[in-house]
Amino acid sequence: MFDRILVANRGEIALRILRTAREMGIDTVAVYSEFDRRALHVRMAHQAIALGGELPSQSYLVAEKIIDAAKRSGAQAIHPGYGFLAENAKFAAAVTEAGIAWIGPPPGAIEVMGDKITSRRAMQEAGVPLVPGLTDAVADVAEAIEASEGIGYPVAIKAAAGGGGKGIRIVREPSEMESAFRTASGEAVSAFGDGRLYIERYLDQPRHIEVQVLFDAHGDAVHFGERECSIQRRHQKLIEECPSVIIDEVVRAKMGEVALQAGHAVNYEGAGTVEFLWSGGEFFFLEMNTRLQVEHPVTEMVTGVDLVREQLRVAAGEPLGYGQDAIKMHGHSIEVRINAEDTTAGFVPSVGTVKNLRMPGGAGVRVDSCLYRGMEVGLAYDPMLAKVIVHAHDRATAIRRMRRVLEELNVSGVRISAPAALAVLEEEAFQKGEFDTHFLEGLDLSKPRGSEERLVAAVAALYRRHRAADRALAGSGETRRGWRERSRAMTSTYAKVAGRSAKRGKA
């Protein structure tokens, strides 16, 4: 096993990896941009190396800086987390060439699976079921319209180098093609530096089901069942579950087998996720994510496996040491992503400085978070601040537990996605398990659902009155401290209505 690893990431995933490494007695090295110099992952690692620069393009995305940091710190391996350089085959190759172990799949597997066109070809050859569509990129709008006639509308146009919902547009009729093609291509160029687009059938009432797989370097592999990730908006997931209500033992075994088949076809090693679109009992290969997923904790909660630990073991050359029979699923787990966004205004990003922070706790609750008071949330980085995960013996209990958890959670300074997740959990259709990937988009989230408006009005008025009193009582210079003390004593007044007295002041 490694003595020291470098985590080439930030945020909650950097912390997630550092935690397991520390538990395994492995020294940890964090890297950070100038923007992140006070971040939790920097404070929790054994060593921290500055990459310089405020933006990802000046720090976490600069392969040479990361490799230099690994050499300087004596790290024997690099864990890329997700995002940034995690699915960059050139980086993976450069790491190995520098004599450092890569905690991820071989560069060849990343390359084939990272491109939607080459991955479709490889999967077709391996006999993995695919969504009807083209395996070649389309050159222009005219070609896209012609191709779509053959496939049948609605179609999805997707960036060949895509991921994370960027560069994807749904086209329902030929007249929509031009605008969709232009924006998807523009997005693909700016996000991936590659504007190539391809087209496939857009399935009705699809569910996004993905299978967690793990391959060792000796040809052995297991799967850890599925995750249900249909609650998403513009292909950005919000709520994930394990297991899925629509998958039974038989289908689970079949999907798992196909997922392993997909991995074997590209000589996969390490942890990965094979994403499927499920529609009317059929399932089709969507893509393979050659890294740890954001939503991996729900699988961990249900199977009891630490996937990061398994990643480290496999990368160090250890054999799996167990077979498919050893993987057992217990109970139900749900994850909610806490993003900095205003979900009442179309999920627009929210920026600010985190002030108030109250994290949930209690039985069956796991919080993977990079939040701290004083944390700045900017636009240059991913808006995901935290993930809250619950586990319970069945789905209904897990849903009730997650609702309780979201009611406890409190992050101020930025708007967060929790109210939208709460709205989903309160929907009867969600509770019955009747939903598809359009469910979230179909929900009217523009209207806030809180029912305590009168109380809020009273609290807001009192809060404002207190602040005005604070300002009026704040003196200047030498007298300031004395005035503050006095103001505290004076603001301990009493509120009384209908014969009831109550102390009001600062505790």
Partner 1 sequence: MRYFVKVNGHDHEVVLSERLGELFVEVDGEGMDLVYEEVDALGQVLAIVGDSSFGVSIEGDSRRAGVTIAGHFYDVEIEDERERAALAAARAASVGGGLVKSVMPGVVVSLLVAEGDVVEEGQALLVLEAMKMQNEIAAPTAGEVRLIHVAEGEAVSAGAKLVELEVPAES
Active site residues: 291
Of the candidate residues 207, 243, 415, 437, the single one contacting partner 1 (CB under 8 A): 415
Of residues 410, 441, 472, 482, which one binds partner 1 by CB under 8 A?
410
DSSP string, 141-210: HHHHHHHHHHH-SSEEEEEEEEETTEEEEEESSGGGHHHHHHHHHHHHHHHHS---EEEEEPPSS-EEEE
Q: How far apart, in whole angstroms, are the C-alpha atoms of residue 143 and residue 324?
A: 46
Region binding partner 1 by CB under 8 A among candidate stretches 29-37, 253-261, 340-348, 389-397: 340-348
488 scored as a contact of partner 1 (CB under 8 A) = no
Name beta bridge partners: 166.
Answer: 163
According to CB under 8 A, which residues from 432 to 451 bind partner 1? 447-451
Please report how close the Cβ of residue 95 comes to partner 1 at its closest, in angstroms: 25
Are the CB atoms for 195 and 157 separated by under 8 Å? no
Judged by CB under 8 A, the stretch of 122-130, 178-186, 219-227, 259-267 that binds partner 1 is 178-186
DSSP reduced 3-state for 87: coil
Q: Which of 458, 479, 480, 484 binds partner 1 (CB under 8 A)?
A: 458
Closer to partner 1 by Cβ: residue 254 or 467: 467
By CB under 8 A, tell whether 473 contacts partner 1. no
Closer Cβ to partner 1, 326 or 458, answer by number: 458
Quick check: helix, strand or coil at residue 282?
Answer: strand
Shortest Cβ 416–partner 1 spacing (Å): 8
Q: Which of 218, 373, 393, 481 binds partner 1 (CB under 8 A)?
A: 373
| DSSP, res 36 | G
CB contact set of 339 (below 8 Å; sequence gap of 6+): 238, 347, 383, 384, 385, 416, 417
Residue 322 or 494 having the CB closest to partner 1: 494
> Of the candidates 413, 424, 436, 443, which one interacts with partner 1 according to CB under 8 A?
413
108 or 364: CB nearest partner 1? 364
* 213 contacts 268 by C-beta, under 8 angstroms: yes
506 in contact with partner 1 (CB under 8 A): yes
Of 53, 141, 466, 473, the one binding partner 1 (CB under 8 A) is: 466
CA-wise closest residue to 247 among 268, 226, 224: 226
Q: Where are the alpha helices (DSSP H) in 46-115?
A: 63-73, 89-97, 107-114
Cβ density class 77-95: b for 16+ within 10 Å, e for less: bbbbbbbbbbbbbebbbbb
Q: Which is nearer to partner 1, 139 or 455 (CB)?
A: 455
* Residue 196 binds to partner 1 (criterion: CB under 8 A): no
409 interacts with partner 1 by CB under 8 A: yes
Question: What are the backbone dihedrals phi and psi of residue 267, each rounded to the nearest 5 degrees, phi first?
Answer: 55, 50
In the chain, what is the greatest distance between 2 CA atoms, to the nearest angstrom?
81
Interface with partner 1, residue 127, by CB under 8 A:
no
Binding range to partner 1, per CB under 8 A, among 74-82, 95-103, 201-209, 404-412: 404-412
Subset of 33-62 contacting partner 1 (CB under 8 A):
none
Phi, psi (deg, nearest 5) at residue 147: -65, -40
Selected range binding partner 1 among 65-73, 100-108, 111-119, 179-187, rule: CB under 8 A? 179-187
Q: How many Cβ atoms are within 10 Å of 13's Cβ, its own excluded?
A: 29
Check residue 459 for interaction with partner 1 (CB under 8 A).
yes
Q: Which residues, at least 6 apart from 43, have a Cβ–Cβ distance to it below 8 Å?
A: none
Q: Which of residues 271-310 bind partner 1 (CB under 8 A)?
A: none
How big is the CA angle at 358 (ends 474 and 399), to the nearest 5 degrees? Answer: 150
Window contacting partner 1 (CB under 8 A); options: 46-54, 61-69, 98-106, 416-424: 416-424
Q: Which residues contact 40 (CB under 8 A, 6 or more apart)?
A: 15, 370, 371, 372
Can you tell me which residue has the tokens 């007295």?
501
The least CB distance from residue 468 to partner 1, in Å, is 7
154 is an interface residue for partner 1 by CB under 8 A: no
Q: Out of 326, 345, 396, 429, name the contact with partner 1 by CB under 8 A.
A: 345
Rule CB under 8 A: is residue 348 a binding residue for partner 1?
Answer: yes
Looking at beta carbons only, is 25 or 499 nearer to partner 1? 499
Least CB distance from residue 333 to partner 1, whole Å? 20
